[in-house]
Structure 1
Amino acid sequence: MDTFTPDPRRWWALAALVASMLTLGFDTTILNVALPTMAADLGATTGEQQWMADAYVVVFAALMLPAGLLGDRFGRRLMLVVGLGIFLAGSLVGALADGVGAVIAARAVMGVGAALVTPLALSVLPSLFAPEERAKAVGITSAASALGLPLGPIVGGWLLNHFWWGSVFLVNVPMAALGIAACVLLLPETRDPASPTVDVVSTALTATGLGALVYGIIEAPGRGWGDPLVLGALTGAVVLLTALVLRERRVERPMLDMTLLAHRGFLLNTVAATLVMFVLSGLLFVLPPYLQAVLGHDALGTGLRLLPMMGGLLVASRTAPQLTARFGARAAVTAGLVVLAFAAFLGSRTTTDSGYGFTALWLSVTGLGFGFALIPAMNSALDALPRDRAGSGSGLLMTLRQVGGAIGIALLGSLLAGTFRDRLHTGGLPPRAADTAGDSVVAAHLVAERVGSADLAASANSAYVHGMGVVLLVCGVAALVSALPAAAFLPGAARPDRAPAAPVMADGEADARQ
């Protein structure tokens, strides 16, 4: 076509896409606030809570790239409708679930739907908007997902204060239904028959390898790192992921183009962005139980008390581009990682008597560090690639950051669980009650209430805060260690011949998934 005729209904279609992306955007953070309540009602251990969070992220990371290819080949509107339908079905199953296994299964199904929707929501925009409007449309869609981060805990907290925990799943149903109706009525069908076919073997290797890795990490605190099942899962993960890399290097049109990692700027910025998601996901997993079980706030209060971190993130998102333009990406990413490390070290000094004021302080600094490290790292990662590799680079960047988020929940959650169990004093309790109390801080408080032991509740609070401090120390060390190669090896400034805003914003849309 020589001319582009904009669809008169395009802004209505965009509104529906925004509603869908907003729903996906706050879905992960809404669950973090609900986990302590679900742990109490379902008797979920820390490991089971990790699976409730990670089932979604692992499936999402494994299926995002093949999902995009399915849309290219069979129709983006069709796959969007299918993805929203799967997400809706998973949300219904989650709302009606009466056990931990059903919740984990529902989260995995929702991950399948989200993997279809996330890349395709942006890929349909070129068929709706002329080039002069497209950047604005991408920005609005990206902002909808980013807005989900602070909205998730608040919406989740309000729902939990007024309804049962299944309401955090049920809220997705009308939003997904609206998205389906809008896609059917307003979106034109587009496809790209020349796109690569979906590599079923690579997809299976990705899903099973990531699943085995996360399983081994989550099970290790309870079973021990030397347990045959844990060792088998971790060994299997190494074998499967190695096979994936070798296969992707051999095929002519790889789904995960590992040759992109040969670009130093892309590799180092991707590592930095992945680490930030590792820390962010782990932190959002360990913070709500501290705010609810230790400090005694309700679900809505917990959501509101996470806002200082989101506020810092929003401030950084406004100022990071100017900082990068003036001092270069290397300075911005390095400064962000150093600020993140400082915030984590400060947070590790939290005690049971610190109160929320101290927590709000280091949460605000944490948000600033996230924003200053993440946004320039994403920009610079894609800026380091040739223009014709930006699409595949964006896909690889999103996938690796999702993997970072999954491993963050698994590894930092497992570190917390092991430390909590080791520090908890359960002397004088029956063996079964002592074992239950060691499952999580929420379980320990329930046991303490049942047996009337103030000492157990105090010990649980102390053990949890100590475990959270250990997690934050690990986060701080990881951020500081990452800042050193960033300062030494990252390019100093963006290349002037590049205009990375559109692809970066597209990638930024997926950023709020974690």
Structure 2
Amino acid sequence: MLSSTRVEDADASTIDDPRRRRLVLATVGLALMTVVSAVSGLNVALPELATATGATQTQLTWVVDAYTVVFAGLLLLVGALGDRFGRRGVLVAGLAVFGLAAAGALFTEDPDLLVALRAVMGLGAAGIMPTTLSVITTSFPAAERPRAIGIWVGVAGGGAVIGLFGSGLLLEAFAWNSFFALNLGLAVLALAGALAFVPESREAAPGRLDVTGGVLSLVAVSGLVVGIIESAENGWGDTLTLSALAVGLLALAAFVAWELHTDDPLLDPRLFRERGFATGSLSISLQFFAMFGFFFAVLQYLQFVVGLSPLQAALRLLPLPFVLIPVARRAPHVAARLGFRRVGALGLALLALGLFTMSHLTRDLSPWVFFGGLVAFAAGAGLAGTPATTAITEALPPSKQGVASAVNDTARELGSALGIAVLGAALASAYRADVASVTAGLPEQAREAVAGSVAATRSPMLSALGPKAQEVVVGAQEAFVAGVGHALTIGAVVVAVGAVVVLLLAPGRERH
């Protein structure tokens, strides 16, 4: 089992100089923003990326999800590496790997190479995110830790929105690959700060590094996400789809079995017997499943169908932080009175309501449907988020807060990866089915291009179709809207089921 060395060495390595603590907090906040914005910001650039590179809908899903798959699969292992060999060193290495991969992506237009480079960026991100929180807990005295962690949580939530607007502003003046220039710039600034201000710290007596558990967790996440994504292209009965899902499930079973019997597990599965820990983790996963699946689908809808620019599309999401942040600030007080069970379930129910409302979007944007759904969605995210994280941390004693933090991060990233994979696959599958009648009779090249992605409706090749071109564009857009509606409906059902589970199983106002 995990020892209490995280807490013990935290007090031994605190920084006495208040000015340096502020510089450390600014540095880890910038590093965290680098990681979070690399997921959300890319969604704004996807339409232009698809047009410029010719990427299919499945390739677009992989450009986004290759990052989160590697990130989520390696979080526990790389976080343990920081505890064992030095958090500052792992943070510096993670920022360097992330920045180098972003620099490579800046100069390529090959979709498959972009997928590979995004996976390398995910490797770097796995070294950054858990280390930023560990640096705070080991550098700040106990009295200042809660405030510093609160700022960390705020940056983790706000970084997604900042990524959207930063990318939107860049794409107004530059090409789609300027998104990777933003990634590179943030990584370089954070790297300079880490080298200059972040102190070195590590566990005084770390246990054996669970490499086997880390590899099994990566294989499990990768297999499941590969199977889900490829199902949109090849169907659920395809050999690749079934093989990937089988590998993922077997690796997951092997991970659980290994963690139950090893002396120094990355994550002891028995912790999920605690209801607050289990339902808090489920809630966090579902929130990010909904949020990043929503970003992936709706930002393409706003640009491909409604015809907005990247910045205009990002501005349509402006109500999100203005509703989410005030609600999130009040959520802990509401949860203290009503309990996590009621507040967590209500938050997830509002998330589901928002998704279901926006599943009724049409080719002509309805402000009532879009903004009504967006407000409910944002309120649900704000209400569910902080109480779920609190439920995870309060379920475990102080000696296991490192485990709680790692599980919280893993739940976020696993939810993000699955949201993009599941809802992206549902969108792609429904689009391909509906667009088939539109592309019937077209030349082979045009038929395959339009069937692969709605981005092809912006291609000059359609001008050769003459009067039929506009008919194809309208039909493809309507098929894409149907795909978005299908994906958001699935998301609403999944989150609604999660709300029922939290209502039935989560703890109330009692503390553990």
Question: Shorter chain as normaliser: what TM range?
Answer: over 0.9
- Secondary structure of 2:133's aligned partner: helix
1:339 is aligned to 2:350:
yes
Alignment partner of 1:63 is 2:77: no
| Runs of 5+ consecutive residues of structure 1 not aligned to the other structure | 499-514
Residues 318-353 of structure 1 show CA distances to partners (whole Å, capped at 9, x for unaligned) of 221222122221111111122122222211222223
Q: Secondary structure at the match of 2:484?
A: helix
Correspondence for 1:438 among 446, 451, 454? 451
Contact 2:158 2:321 in 1 (8 A): no
Q: Which moved more, 1:302-311 or 1:86-95?
A: 302-311
Contact 2:360 2:369 in 1 (8 A): no
Structure 1 residue matching 2:439: 3-state secondary structure: coil
* Corresponding residue for residue 217 of structure 2: 206
How far apart are the structure 1 equivalents of 2:398 and 2:68?
Answer: 29
Which amino acid counterpart does residue 465 of structure 2 have in structure 1? Answer: V
Aligned: 1:428 with 2:441: yes
Alpha-carbon offset, residue 429 of structure 1: 0.8
Q: Distance in 1 between matches of 2:124 and 2:13?
A: 34
Q: How far apart in 2 are the matches of 1:32 and 1:252?
A: 41
Query: Take 1:449 and 1:403, find their aligned partners in 2: how far apart are those partners?
Result: 42
SS at match of 1:196: coil
Hey, what does 2:271 align to over in structure 1? 260
Q: Output the TM-score relative to the length of structure 2.
A: 0.92
- Letter matched to residue 384 of structure 1: A
Alpha-carbon contact 1:87-1:176 (below 8 Å) kept: yes
1:362-410 CA deviation, whole Å, 9 max, x = no partner? 1121111122122222212322334433321332232133222211111
Within a 5 Å distance, the mapping from 1:362-401 to structure 2 comes to 362-401=373-412
Q: Is the 8 A contact 1:153 1:302 kept in 2?
A: no
* Aligned-partner Cα distance in 2 for 1:176–1:75: 19
SS in 2 for 1:404: helix
Q: Does 1:16 align with 2:16?
A: no
Measured against aligned partners, the alpha-carbon deviations of 1:426-460 in whole angstroms (never above 9, x if no partner) come to 13311331121011221244354553411111111
* Aligned-pair CA distance for 1:255: 0.6
Map 1:20-59; keep pairs closer than 5 Å.
20-59=31-70
Match 1:467 to one of 474, 483, 492? 483
Give the Å deviation of 1:293.
0.7
CA contact (8 A) 2:15 2:21 kept: no
CA deviation after TM superposition for structure 1 residue 357, in Å? 4.7
Q: Give the TM-score normalised by the residue count of structure 1.
A: 0.92
Once the two structures are aligned, what percentage of the paired residues are identical? Answer: 36
On the 8 A contact 1:13/1:187 being kept in 2, the answer is yes
Asked if 1 retains the 8 angstrom alpha-carbon contact of 2:130 and 2:409, the reply is no
Indicate conservation of the 8 Å contact 1:221/1:414, yes or no. yes
Counterpart Cα distance in 2 of 1:405 and 1:186: 31
Count of aligned pairs between the two proteins = 496
Q: What is the distance in 2 between the residues matched to 1:158 and 1:449?
A: 30
Report how far residue 59 of structure 1 moved. Answer: 0.8
Of residues 192, 206, 214, the one that matches 1:195 is: 206
Q: Which stretch has the larger CA shift, 356-365 or 76-85? A: 356-365
Quote the RMSD (CA, aligned, Å). 2.0
Indicate the SS of the match to 1:438: helix
CA change 1:121–1:462 in 2 (3 A) is same
Q: CA deviation at 1:235?
A: 1.2
Matched with 1:6 is 16
Structure 1 Cα separation of the partners of residues 412 and 152 of structure 2: 19
The answer (yes or no) to whether the contact 2:360–2:485 under 8 Å persists in 1 is yes
The corresponding residue for 1:504 is none
Give the stretch that moved more between structures: 453-462 or 39-48: 453-462
**Secondary structure of the corresponding residue to residue 19 of structure 1:** helix
> For residues 2 and 317 of structure 1, what CA distance do their matches in structure 2 show?
33
Paired residues of 1:277 and 1:405 also in contact (CA < 8 A): yes
Decide whether the 8 Å contact of 1:257 with 1:392 is kept in 2.
no
SS at structure 2 position matched to 1:131: coil
2:105 is matched with which residue? Answer: 94
**Whole-angstrom distance in 1 between the partners of 2:15 and 2:291:** 42
Instruction: Tell me what 2:186 maps to.
Output: 175
Asked if the contact 2:57–2:428 (Cα under 8 Å) also holds between the matched residues in 1, the reply is yes
- Partner residue, 2:328: 317
Greater Cα shift, 378-387 or 271-280? 378-387
Tell me by how many angstroms 1:11 deviates: 1.7
Structure 1 residues 190-242: Cα deviation after superposition (integer angstroms, max 9, x where no partner): 11142233322222222222222211111112212111121111111111221
Whether the aligned pair in 1 keeps the contact of 2:357 and 2:369 (CA below 8 Å) is: no
- CA distance in structure 2 between the aligned counterparts of 1:174 and 1:105, rounded to whole angstroms: 20
The Cα of 1:5 is off from its aligned counterpart by 6.0
Whole-angstrom CA distance in 2 between matches of 1:383 and 1:324:
13
Residue ranges of structure 2 left out of the alignment (5+ in a row): 1-10
Q: Is this contact kept in 2: 1:445–1:460, CA < 8 A?
A: no
* C-alpha contact (below 8 Å) 1:438/1:444 kept by paired residues: no
SS at match of 2:129: helix
Residue 148 (structure 1) aligns with: 159
Q: Which amino acid in 1 is paired with 2:98?
A: F
Structure 1 residue 47: deviation in Å?
0.7
1:314 Cα deviation after fit: 1.7
Deviations 1:159-192 (A, max 9, x none): 1111122211112223222222222222221111
